[in-house]
A and B are shown apart, each in its own frame.
Chain A
Amino acid sequence: MNVQAASLPRCFRHEALLLVLLAAALLSLAWQSDRFLTADNLLNQARLMTEVSLIAIGMTFVIVSGGIDLSVGSIFGLVAISMGVLWQSCGLPLPLAMFLAIAAGGMAGWLNGFVVTRFGVPSLIATLATLILYRGLAEGISQGRSVRGYPEWFLQLAQGDLFWAPHQFWLLTTCAVVATLILGWTTFGRATYAIGANETATWFSGIDTRCTKVWIYTASGLLSAMAAVIFVSRVSTTRSDMGTGMELEAITAVVLGGTSIFGGRGTVVGTVLGLALIQALKNGLSLAGVKSDGVIVVIGLVLIFTSIISNLCSHDEGRS
């Protein structure tokens, strides 16, 4: 458990940096537009960022364990279209279709983990293959048709409010807290760090690395599946091209949050801060009158800036 102890101060530093950046962004954006720093607007952002956030939380585990999951966007599309087809064409009740579709997402994630652990295929290649496979399945199942006409109660899942906040706000908070606890305070979480730091050593110290990794990929699939159901409810339609490119958005948030792409280092808190920073920039800059292309440029610059700063810090530490 040395791994975690050694990495804690560094991680803390990165998260502190993010927190400062986030505060600076919030303040300067609020100064640019008086509609930005209102409870109404900020809570609405939770609605918009939940899908990517859920995927990014799963991705944090994957990347901390030294892997990558490129197939999340395709799982997202596959789950969305499976749910629609099971409900509308196969005539299953919608709750059952939702359950089966999410289970299918879990299976898709499990298959990733199985291929990675059983055959030793690098996760980049394995999930690149399933990225194509799952998208193809989604297109094949949908036959190019979109599924519409969901009942009102289903649309309320992602369009309604509980107390004073969107449903997604509560779901996201719960997931973030649970994930923080699992990664930071359980044996499973410590095994995840250990695998990312040195998989062979972890294997020889008696931890079932294969089993842990299969669970991580399955969880990543399940979270993408949940995100897909929420997204379908929010936009009230299902298309096979949903979730295209989502893997990159999630990975961006995770690495911005300070998770090392080589594994062994990173926290859920960092990821959540990264997500919040990106969303604040997207929303705030847009409210301040910056066009979409400008917003992407700023996000790219922030990502480079934070990784440079973060690298400088860790270099200094390494020398001392």
Chain B
Amino acid sequence: MPIQKRFAEKTSTYLANIILTSVLTTVNINASARSWTGADDLPTAPLSCGTSTASAAPRAYDGGTPVKAPNRKDKRLNVVDVPKIVGIGYFNATSKGIAAAAKELGNVEVRTDGSTKANIDDQITSIDNYITRGVDGILFAANDPVAIAPILKRALARGINVVGYDADAARNARQWFVNQAEFNSMAKVLIDTLAREIGAGGSFAIVTSTFVTPNQARWIAEMSAYQAKCFPQMKWLETVEAQEDNVLSFTQTTTLINKYGNKLAGIVGMTTVATPAAAEAIAQAKKCGKVAVIGMATPNAIKPYLNNGCMKSAVLWNPVDLGYAAMYALRAIADETLKPGSVSLKAGRLGELKVVKGSEILLGEPYVFTKSNVNRFDF
């Protein structure tokens, strides 16, 4: 059913384009003039090619500040964690990390509450209710960086400590953001890995969630900038949408294989759902070894493909660590050990984490899973 609905939506999108072009021929719409890669239109900052990594210049703190926050030093904290969506593996893992950190700290009460739909309105309403209810801290993963900002600013105005993880909000709407991996370094790792597998002149396609999803759109923008800079011979065939849907990702990949035939040398999955589904599609089309699949994936989902050789590598960070670090950041703010000007955060078993870009805490470099290391992970 969803596929049929999706198909119908697609059809009507084409219809829409036909109507649009006929109606709006006189009006030049910026958006449609550009090639459609699924990237957002924010500025990009591609890293330098090769292995050298230049460190960015330090910036002054640019996060928000809570108004008249009470002294919470060493006091018991009542914290709510509002992920994008509840009930999927990825955010179950972040919640697990948050709960583990809270247990370790001993003086934090934390609960995870969110919608079963990744819906901006539900998330805003939920945070609104927790502000009214009275909490000391909010951990969030934003469904939309702009839409969530007013309500987070209200939380700050009520003296609540606000820390983001996974998906950021406008910078002045939260205090700190725990960044799992910087967008440009993620993009670099993905394109470098891709180039290694399909060669610097190969053609590839991307399977993403939707063109509106902020993280994915950002990665794609950085990837296209880095690819243009470092591998100009590579050919970007197409970006297709597959929601975060298993069946749809499989179908879309199969369509790509049929559409481009031997031209298609690689597929990049932009979500943890798309990558294993793409690998499955390649396996069923008996194209293992002919079409490379890389992308973001959780280890458990891609173990079989890495082990049977259909995939060589996948990229991600550890979501459990991400939640864990976010909880430590919130505690550190309350204890005033993490404040504007700090250069690092002591995050329990993760050790010292670096502060980057004014008010972000960097979890680390993206992690590349291969056949040799994937069996060490279980999430």
Contact indicator B146/A237 (Cβ below 8 Å):
yes
Closest residue of A by beta carbon distance from B19: A137
Closest residue of A by beta carbon distance from B15: A136
Given A133-B12, A136-B9, A35:B113 Cβ within 8 A: no
Closest residue of B by beta carbon distance from A146: B212
Contact indicator B114/A292 (Cβ below 8 Å):
yes
Which B120-161 residues have C-beta < 8 A from chain A? 120-122, 124-126, 128-130, 132-134, 144, 146-147, 149-150
Given A144-B211, A145-B31, A287:B132 Cβ within 8 A: yes
Stretch of A187-195, A210-218, A238-246, A269-277 at the chain-chain interface:
A238-246
Which A258-283 residues have C-beta < 8 A from chain B? 282-283
Neighbouring B residues of A33 by C-beta, 8 Å: 133
Assembled-state Cα–Cα distance A133/B119 (Å): 21
Neighbouring A residues of B126 by C-beta, 8 Å: 286, 292
- Cβ of B47 under 8 Å from chain A: no
Q: Which residue of B19, B30, B128, B144 is within 8 Å of A44 (Cβ)? A: B128
Contact indicator B20/A141 (Cβ below 8 Å):
yes
Number of interface residues of B (CB under 8 A): 51
Contact indicator A144/B210 (Cβ below 8 Å):
yes
- Cβ of B11 under 8 Å from chain A: yes
Contact indicator B38/A144 (Cβ below 8 Å):
yes
Which A189-245 residues have C-beta < 8 A from chain B? 231, 234-237, 239-242, 244-245
Given A245-B117, A291-B113, A136:B31 Cβ within 8 A: no
Given A33-B133, A292-B122, A48:B16 Cβ within 8 A: no
Assembled-state Cα–Cα distance A307/B132 (Å): 32
Neighbouring A residues of B147 by C-beta, 8 Å: 235-237
Between A and B, 6 residue pairs with Cβ closer than 8 Å are A48-B128, A143-B36, A236-B149, A239-B144, A286-B130, A293-B86
A contact residues vs B (CB 8 Å cutoff): 33, 35, 41, 44, 48, 85, 89-90, 132-133, 135-137, 139-146, 148, 155, 159, 231, 234-237, 239-242, 244-245, 282-283, 286-287, 289, 291-293
In the A-B complex, the 5 residue pairs with the closest CB atoms: A144-B211, A136-B12, A140-B16, A235-B147, A237-B146
B contact residues vs A (CB 8 Å cutoff): 5, 8-17, 19-20, 27, 29-32, 36, 38, 40-41, 86, 111, 113-117, 119-122, 124-126, 128-130, 132-134, 144, 146-147, 149-150, 210-212, 217
